[in-house]
Amino acid sequence: MSWTKKILRVNLTTGSCESEPLNMEWARQYLGQRGLATKYLVEETDPSVDPLSADNKMIFATGPLTGTIAPTSGRWSVVTKGPLTGAIACSNSGGFFGAELKNAGWDMIIFEGRAEAPVYLDINNDQVSLKDASQLWGTSVWETEDKLREIRGDDDIRVASIGSAGEKGVLFAAIVNDKDRAAGRSGVGAVMGSKNLKAVAVRGTVGVTVDDPMGLMKASGAAKGAISENAVTSQGLPTYGTQVLMNVINELGALPTRNATEVQFEGAHLVSGEAMTEPRKSDGEANLVSTHACFGCPISCGRYSKIDPEHFTVKGKSQYQIVSGGLEYENAWGLGVATGVSDLEALTFANFLCNEQGLDPITCGSTIGAAMELYEMGAITSEDTNGIELEFGSAKALVEILEATAKGEGFGRDIALGSKRLCDKYGHPELSMTVKSQEFPAYDPRGIQGMGLTYATSNRGACHLRSYTVSSEVLGLPEKTDPHTTDGKAGLVMAFQDVTAVVDSSGTCIFTTFALSLDDIAPMVDAACVGEWSSESLMEVGERIWNMERQYNIAAGFTGKDDTLPERLLKDAAKSGPAKGRVNELDKMLPEYYELRGWSDDGVPTAETLSRLSL
C-alpha cells in the first residue's frame, strides 16, 4: 500500500479535474515523488518544450512515506522543465502541504495546459475543482494563504502558492507552502505563474494506509532513535538550524564570498546561527524567537525570527515583526555573504521578503552579487540600476533591488533573469557563478573538492542537495574524507547522488541521512509498501532515477560540455584559509565519474547501462 494509487490530472485549458489510477509498474521502478513524477514528465512531454509554454507540464508529487509515521514524512516535490536552466527541474519542499495532499488521497497532481484567467485548485479529499483566483492575483503568498482560509472557512487547509515573483515570471520564482517552506529552485514558481495557477488549497482526512503498520512502527521507531543519538540531528540542527554551518564553512575557507571572489567572509560571525541567538544592543532581544518543525519531524530545524522594530527595513511594516522562516544557512549566504552584507536584520527582512513573494534566495542573492561585481567594474552604472548604488556590502542596496525584483520593476527585471542571462547581457559571462544556468550555493569547490564534481554533474544545475558531500568532507558522516583531495570523490559523489534520489523519492527529508543510512530507510519503505524493498534494490532505483534525468537533459540539448564549473573556480586560486592556493580539480574527477557511471567519455549513458537499469 502506502501509495494512494490515485493521480489527479488537472487540465487548466479545459478546466477538467480527473482521477486516474497510478501506474504501479512505474511505482515499483521509481518509488514515488521525485523519481515517479519525473517518469511521468519524461513520458508525457517533449524535452525540447518551452518551459513557460502551455505544453510544459508541472507535477506536484508525494512519496510513499509522505504522511506516514516515518520521521520527516512531510516532503513533496514539484517536477517540471525548469525555465532558469532548460533542464529537468525537481524542487523539494517540507512543511505540512505534502502530508495533507497525501491524506486527501492523492499521490500526485499533474497540471497541463494554461488557464485563460487566474485560478486556484480547491481540494477536499476527492472533491476537486478549479476556482476563480482573480481576487488573489497580485497578492503575496502570505495574503493568499490567509484569504483562502477565509474563503474556505477552514483554518486546517494547507496552501501552496506563488507570490508576485511567480506572477511576473521571475526565472527563479518559488512555490511556497505553509508560508515559509518552499519548492525553491529552478524557477518552478514561474511555471506555475505561466499557467495562471495562483494556488492549491487542500484538506485531507482520508488518511494513509500502509502494508505493514507494526513493521513501519518498529522501523520508524528505530530511525527516530538513531536521529536522537546523532549530534547533528539532535543538537546542531535543532539548536542553530542549518545556520550551524556558517562559521564552520568560513573557517574551512570554503565560503564563497562577494560573488566567489574570495573564500572567507569577515562578517560571517555577524550573520551566523550563533549571532541569531545573541541579544541585540537596541532592545535586548534576540533575532531568533523559537524553532519549529515540519510534519512528522523530530529535528525541528525551522526558525521563527523577530527583526529589530527600529531597523530601517521594518519601520512601519508590522507584518515583519515575528515571522516563521527565519534565516537558514543557504539564505544567509546567498543574500548576505555573496553580496558582502553582514547586517543580520536586513538579511532576515530580505529572507522574509523571499518567502512572502516567492523568490529563491540562493539564485536571487547570487545574481545580486554578480550585479554588484558588474557595478564595481563599471559594466553597469547607477543609470542602469535606476539610481541604486549597487555596492558590495550595502544592505540598503540589497533590500531595494530585492523589492524591485519581486515587483518586476526597474533593474529588478534584469535580476529576475538570473546571473547567467544578466552577465551575458552586460558582456561578462565569466562572472556568473552557475552550472547549467543555475547558481551554485554556499560551498566553494576550491575548499571542498567533492562539491565541485557535485555541482558540475547535477542534473538540475548547480545544487548541493543532489550530492551533499559536505557531510563526509566536513562533518565526517558517514565517514571522514579529506576536502582538499580528489581521490575517491567520483565514487563518493555517485553514491550520494543515488542515495539522495531514493530519499527524495521516498517522501522523507535528506537531513535524516546525517543519522540514517539506506539500511535504516529500507525497512520503513519495505513496511509501508507492497513488494520487497532492500537497501540494494533502493540503490538501483536511485541509479535508475539519476540516469533517467540525465537522458532527459541530453534529449533537451545538454552535453558533457555542460558538466563544468565557472572558470573562476578552475583557474583563480583560493586567496585565504586552509584551501589557500587551491583551485577545483574537476578535470581529475570527471573522467573517473563517467567511468563509474557507465557513461561514454562524453557523458552519455551506454546501451549496457541503460539496459541494466531497464531504461
> Could you read off the pLDDT of 573-609 as tens digits, one per residue?
999 999 999 999 999 999 999 999 999 999 999 999 9
The strand pair at 438-439 and 434-435 is best described as: antiparallel
**CATH 1.10.569.10 is the classification of domain 257-432:** yes
Find the DSSP H helices in 507-557. 518-528, 535-555
Residue-level pLDDT at 316: 64
Give the list of residues 6+ apart from residue 64 with CB closer than 8 angstroms, or none. 2, 3, 27, 31, 32, 506, 507, 525, 528, 529
* Identity at 247, one-letter amino acid code: N
HSE-up of 133 (CA within 13 Å, CB side)?
A: 32
Cell numbers 523577530 correspond to: 306
Residue-level pLDDT at 322: 66
Compute the average pLDDT of residues 520-535: 97
Q: For 439-612, which CATH class?
A: mainly alpha
Give the list of residues 6+ apart from residue 326 with CB closer than 8 angstroms, or none. 241, 276, 287, 288, 289, 302, 303, 304, 305, 348, 351
Residue-level pLDDT at 314: 78
| Boundaries of every domain in the chain | 6-203, 257-432, 439-612
* C-alpha cell read off for 181: 517552506
Tell me how crowded residue 614 is: count the other CB atoms within 10 A of its CB.
Answer: 8
Nearest to 325 by CA among 243, 407, 269, 261: 243
- The pLDDT mean for the chain works out to 96
Cell numbers 502551455 correspond to: 54
Tell me how crowded residue 561 is: count the other CB atoms within 10 A of its CB.
Answer: 8
CA distances from 329 to 87, 240, 273, 302, 349 (A): 25, 10, 8, 11, 15
Nearest to 337 by CA among 270, 404, 430, 251: 270
Q: Is the pLDDT of residue 104 over 70?
A: yes
Q: Is the pLDDT of residue 296 over 70?
A: yes
Same fold, 6-203 and 257-432: no
**Beta-ladder partners of 123:** 128, 202
> Could you read off the pLDDT of 29-71 as tens digits, one per residue?
999 999 999 999 999 999 999 999 999 999 999 999 999 999 9
Taking the mean position of all CA atoms in its chain, how far away is CA 215? 31
What 581-584 contacts at long range (C-beta under 8 Å, 24+ apart), as own/partner pairs, is 582/446, 582/447, 582/484, 583/446, 584/445, 584/446, 584/449, 584/452
Q: For 6-203, which CATH class?
A: alpha beta
Residue-level pLDDT at 321: 65
